[in-house]
Chains A and B, each alone.
Chain A
Amino acid sequence: MNTEAVVSIRNLNKSFGDNHVLRGIDLDVQRGEVVCIIGPSGSGKSTLLRCVNMLETPTDGTVVVLGTDLTDLDSDLDAARTKIGMVFQSFNLFSHMSVLDNVCVAQRKVLKRSKDEAEKIALQLLQRVGLSEKATAYPAQLSGGQQQRVAIARALAMNPQVMLFDEATSALDPELVGEVLNVMRGLAEEGMTMLVVTHEMGFAANVASRVVFMDGGVIVEQGPPAQIINSPQEERTKAFLSSVQQH
């Protein structure tokens, strides 16, 4: 069980019209691993992440999550998605619902939990992300960092086996990035399997068990963070890292 692949991607290709965004990706994520995907914008890293829960339909290849091939039309995609939590760059909290309802609605409607049970779980998770006093607030009343922490709680309420973070801190004011990264770090320390698309090199260096560098729709280089970030082998990786570190 220790080396069970939670996510297993083979020969993944994705095109938008003539734009060939992913060109044959192979990637495995083991249980408990924190894999950070870095790379220049347009390299396909967000598309790769969105293929893991089929928000984008791959043009070719297979995506196996927890033993289910999601590219198989016979697989139950909605059931599989409950086990794959996703956190978006733009938070995407349901703006017509309170914080508590945001965290409860899918528990109630999808997992069929009772109102009491869902609220109990929601309040525990809100406490964990430090927002229990905001349960009755609406998303528009929260800061970006608070909204993103609610979004993380909302995803965790489904008891996911793996969490996807799609540039979760990119839309935040700099002073709010830390509070979200801290929650993510806490999750990683508890052993959550995570696939993280990020521009935060510090997070990748300190938290990731593996760093994947993508460019032009392919995985250029991957390995332990110290190796990739401090002594990259490929020219493209070096060029990207030096451009990132200049500022």
Chain B
Amino acid sequence: MAISKRKRAQYIRFGVYALSVALVVAVVLLVDWSRLQGAMFRWDLVKKQFPGLITTAARNTIIFTILGFAGGLALGLFLALLRLSRARAYRWFAATYIEIFRGIPLVVTLLILGFGIPIAFKWQWPNPYLRGAVPLALVAAAYMAETIRAGIQAVPKGQMEAARSLGMSYSRAMATVIIPQAMRIIIPPLTNEFVLLIKDTSLISILGVTEGTIDLARYGRNGVFDSANSTPLIVAGLAYLVMTLPLTQLVAHMERRQKASGR
């Protein structure tokens, strides 16, 4: 007997669902939970991570993120404006910058800039935070520039024309009319950028760390070396989630609101 298309689709949906549940149950049953807990989630070690996890590691991760984000936002805005400039040389410069920094892995850029800038300028990083945050900002700027450029281009052309027709200069119109509207459009993608940066700060420690500038990921790894147990890394991972989850939820909320208001 032939079954109808819609009935068949219903059976398939049910089948896939049942299979998914079975898979989850199988994993739960197959894992040796007590062994896993012994290796990765020992309460005594969890407790040992505090308060250093908060007072040093999370604090440093946040400092690196904010420095990288602020620098990246300023430079990214500048690059976006160059990218939209009428002068071909500026557009070309910005496009090259963006392609180079987006095309090289962050680890490589961190190492090249972290050690290369002092050599190139016969100069020492005045502050270990800057040594990590400046390369991070330079890379973040490349990504943010594209986001900001898209946001500026999403503002209707008539807004610039109206501003210019009132006698505003190009830069005045950009600052008072275009960029405020573009910002509203790009706050969700920029928040995502911020989340990516939080995670990217975990790479900074390859430049070397001091006791004071240790970040969450390195704090977790050091804990692993000290205790011969993976619990500190799990705690560090959870600490990242505590920071990133509220932000990703906020982005989802903003996107729903933008969709609801139709713009």
* Complex-state Cα separation, A5 to B79, whole angstroms: 44
- Which residue of the partner chain, among A79, A82, A88, A96, contacts B162 with CB atoms under 8 Å? A88
Choice from A78, A90, A93, A94 contacting B167 with Cβ under 8 Å: A78
User: Is B237 positioned at the interface, with any CB of A under 8 Å from its CB?
Assistant: no
Number of interface residues of B (CB under 8 A): 18
Known A-B contacts A88-B162, A92-B159, A105-B176; the reply to A82 vs B167 at CB < 8 A is yes
Indicate if B181 sits at the interface (CB-CB under 8 A): yes
Q: How far is the CB of A90 from chain B (nearest CB, A)?
A: 5
B177: interface (CB < 8 Å): yes
Q: A residues bordering B, Cβ < 8 Å?
A: 53, 55, 78-79, 81-82, 84-86, 88, 90-96, 105-106, 109-111, 151, 154-155, 158
Query: Distance (Å) between the CB of B185 and the closest chain A CB?
Result: 11
Across the interface, which residues of A come within 8 angstroms of B181, CB to CB? 94-96
Chain B positions 152 through 173: 1 when the CB is less than 8 Å from some CB of chain A, otherwise 0:
0000101101111111110010
Closest to A107 in B: B166
Which B residue's beta carbon lies closest to that of A84? B165
B180, CB-defined interface residue at 8 Å: yes
Nearest chain-A residue to B157 (Cβ)? A92
Q: CA A158 – CA B166 in complex, angstroms?
A: 7
Q: How far in angstroms is the closest Cβ of chain A from B163?
A: 8
CA distance A94 to B173 in the complex (A): 11
Q: Cα distance A154–B168 when bound, in Å? A: 13
The listed residue (B165, B172, B177, B180) touching A55 by CB distance below 8 A is: B165
Distance between Cα atoms of A151 and B172 in the complex (Å): 19
**30 residue pairs A–B, Cβ–Cβ below 8 Å:** A53-B165, A55-B164, A79-B167, A81-B164, A81-B167, A82-B167, A84-B165, A88-B158, A88-B161, A90-B156, A90-B158, A91-B158, A92-B158, A93-B162, A94-B162, A94-B163, A94-B181, A95-B159, A95-B181, A96-B184, A105-B166, A105-B176, A106-B163, A106-B167, A110-B167, A110-B168, A110-B172, A111-B167, A154-B166, A155-B165
Q: Is the CB of B168 within 8 A of A106?
A: yes
- How far apart sit A174 and B180, CA to CA, in the bound complex (Å)? 33
User: Do A109 and B156 touch (CB < 8 A)?
Assistant: no
In the complex, how many angstroms separate the beta carbon of B108 from the nearest chain A beta carbon?
40
Partner of A78, one of B156, B162, B168: B168
B161 touches A81 (CB 8 A): no
Q: Is the CB of B180 within 8 A of A96?
A: yes
| B137-164 contacts to A (CB < 8 Å) | 156, 158-159, 161-164
The one of B159, B165, B168, B184 that contacts A86, using a Cβ cutoff of 8 Å: B165
Min distance, Cβ A16 to any Cβ of chain B, angstroms = 15
A82 to B163, CA, bound (A): 10
Across the two chains, which residue of chain A brings its CB closest to B181? Answer: A96
Closest 4 pairs between A and B when the two form their complex, measured CB to CB: A82-B167, A92-B162, A106-B166, A92-B158
**Chain B residue, CB-CB nearest to A94:** B177
Give the docked Cα–Cα distance between A84 and B161 (Å).
13
- CB-CB < 8 A to A88: which residues of B? 158, 161-162
Task: Point out the residues of chain A lying under 8 angstroms from B177, CB to CB.
Answer: 94, 105
Q: In the complex, given contacts A82-B167, A105-B177, what are 11 additional A-B residue pairs having Cβ atoms less than 8 angstroms apart? A: A55-B161, A81-B166, A81-B167, A88-B158, A92-B158, A92-B161, A94-B159, A106-B163, A109-B168, A109-B176, A111-B167
Q: Which of B159, B165, B176, B184 contacts A81 (CB 8 A)?
A: B165
Chain A residues lying within 8 Å of B162, measured Cβ to Cβ, are 86, 88, 92-94, 151
A110 neighbours in B (Cβ, 8 Å): 166-168, 172
* Complex Cα–Cα for A84 and B181 (A): 25
Contacts of A91 in B (CB 8 A): 158
Chain A residues contacting B163 (CB-CB under 8 Å) are 94, 106
Shortest beta-carbon distance from A110 to chain B in Å: 4
Which residue among B158, B161, B162, B177 has the maximum number of chain A CB atoms within 10 Å of its CB? B162
| Set of chain A residues within 8 Å of B176, measured between Cβ atoms | 105, 109
Bits for B165-195, please: 1 = Cβ < 8 Å to A, else 0: 1111100100011001100100000000000
Q: CA A82 – CA B181 in complex, angstroms?
A: 23
What residues of A have a CB within 8 angstroms of the CB of B172 in the complex?
109-110
Nearest-Cβ distance from residue A115 to partner chain B, whole angstroms: 15
Please, how many angstroms separate the alpha-carbon atoms of A109 and B166 in the complex? 10
